[in-house]
Amino acid sequence: MPATIQEKLSWVPLKIDLRYEDVDFGIGTAFIYSMNNETFLITNYHNVTGRRPDTLKAISPDVALPNKLVLHVPTDANTDTVLPSNESKVRWKALILDLYEDDKPVWFEHPEHGHNVDAVAIPIGIDGCMLQAANSEELELEQITLRPSLDVFVLGYPRGLSGGAKFPIWKRGSIASEPDIDLDKLPKFYIDTATREGMSGSPVYAQHNGYCVPEGCTGLQDALFGEARRFVGIYSGRVGADDFQAQLGIVWKESAIQEIILGKYIGKSSFEI
């Protein structure tokens, strides 16, 4: 009997391998985002360049810079359906994504802040696979009001680990700063969670339990009861790499992802920096 996938959100993230030519040297996370009838692969700037977004220094001690990503994508082993179901038998395919075409990057960076926003978008199709876009209507998300202390979940692959069959690990945390305030004058906020390397590029969801009124609503007739979730952005690492430091994670807001997609700004090749 096939295993039952209990959570629709488990179909959102995918594990990625950072590769130069035929050599893999790093692991990260990515996901699909849908906007204006197009789909985009969303991950961190440092995953596609191999460089720190603040200093532009190479992250790898061997100064390895990726020119490809290996995407681990779920497909249905028995049928032609592309929609995930609880009883699907999943087969995982490794797809190669070239990060450069004619020596030009294929990713979009933030049109105003460039590499200082640690997120990129790559136009990509998802036909024939079972991935769900992070903001898909199929996920039944709600525009719950974000506030400090609200629960969040970061879905990714800490140190390359999975939750079995290449499904993600769910890391729980809470919003640790006022989400409407841009930290360092950039579209990001903090979460309190013990995340690990390999989760860079993970989708982040806020969750509210009980009674709440969604953003833009005021009446009792619009209130939600029970469990409600909202996609809030992309995780990109911790403040301080030491386990005994602040253990604050950085989340780039959904608005930043939308600005990247709309701006279609292509930055420099990592090999020219």
Report domain extents, the chain. Answer: 8-272
What is the C-alpha separation between 74 and 89, in angstroms, rounded?
Answer: 10
Per-chain mean pLDDT for the chain: 89
Q: What is the pLDDT of residues 186-234, one digit of tens each?
A: 999 999 987 777 799 999 999 988 767 666 666 666 666 668 899 999 9
Strand, coil or helix: 68: strand
* 213/263 Cα distance (integer angstroms): 32
**pLDDT for 118:** 98
Question: Tens digits of per-residue pLDDT, 59-81?
Answer: 987 778 999 999 999 987 665 44
* Cβ neighbours, 10 Å, residue 117: 25
Question: 128 — alpha (psi -120 to 50), left (phi > 0) or beta?
Answer: left
pLDDT at 83 over 50: no
Pair 42, 120: CB distance under 8 Å: yes
User: 113 pLDDT exceeds 50?
Assistant: yes
The CATH code of domain 8-272 reads: 2.40.10.10
pLDDT at 222: 66
Phi, psi for 197 (deg, rounded to 5): -60, 150
pTM, rounded to two decimals? 0.91
Average pLDDT over residues 137-142: 94
Q: What DSSP string describes 209-252?
A: EEEE--TT--SGGG-EEEEEEEEEEEEEEESSSSTTS--EEEEE
Taking alpha carbons only, the member of 152, 162, 158 closest to residue 253 is: 152
pLDDT at residue 81, as a whole number: 45
At 7-27, the pLDDT tens digits run 999 999 999 999 999 999 999
Sign of CA dihedral 11, 180, 47, 106: positive
3 pLDDT more than 90: no
Question: 1-15, 26-40, 131-145, 212-226: lowest mean pLDDT where?
Answer: 212-226
Rounded Cα distance between 79 and 197, Å, is 35
